[in-house]
Every structure is written in structure tokens, then in C-alpha cells.
Amino acid sequence: MAGLLAVTVVGIPLAVVLLSLYVAMLLMSTVMVGYRIGSWLFERINRPQTSRWLRMALGVFIVSLAISIPFAGPFVAIAVLIAGTGALVLEQRDLFKPRAFAA
């Protein structure tokens, strides 16, 4: 899509914005999946009170190790991208959902 936009002079700035949003989504989805994996691991070892940063660091480390596996790595990367993007979309949807107030 961004390649088609970049063909025209008017579409070049839009293509740059679209491509940068795509790269940002890739990075954020990896962090989201890494955070959830770290949280899950610390809950499994009965340490739910650990800091968010430690959970994220451990999870992202595990995700990066899994992505670096020679033949399975690209499949892991695609699964992380799909799961993380879906989680980010659901989180944004919940942020903008109107709240019902109790009377």
C-alpha cells in the first residue's frame, strides 16, 4: 500500500507516514507480547508483585530468543506480530469505548 502511494508526488508524504506507523506497530506489538509473556512467567512462579519493567525485560528477552531460532524464528515473528497487533487494537478499542454510568 505504501509503495503504491509513493508512486505519486502527493502520496509520498502519506506513504512515509503509513510506513512509519507500520514500523511503530511492529515494535510495539513485540513489546506487548513480551510484557504478557513476562507477566505469565512471573505468575507461574508465584511472584506477581515484580515490577512491570522486569516483566517486560524478561518477556522481550524470551521473544527475541525465540525469533532468533534459525528455521522457526520467522514463524514466531509472524505469530508475535499478529498477537501483539491484535492486543494493541483491543486495548485502543477499550480506551475509546463509552462508559455506562450507574445512576
Q: Which residues of the chain have pLDDT under 70?
A: 1-2, 5, 100-103
Q: How many domains does the chain have?
A: 1
Q: What pLDDT sits at residue 71?
A: 92
Q: Is residue 67 part of a domain?
A: yes
Nearest to 78 by CA among 26, 32, 37: 26
Q: Is residue 60 part of a domain?
A: yes
Q: Is residue 4 part of a domain?
A: no
Q: Is residue 75 part of a domain?
A: yes
Predicted confidence (pLDDT) per residue in 2-31, tens digit: 677 677 777 778 878 888 888 888 888 888
Residue 63 belongs to what domain range?
21-95
Instruction: Kindly report the pTM of this predicted structure.
Output: 0.70
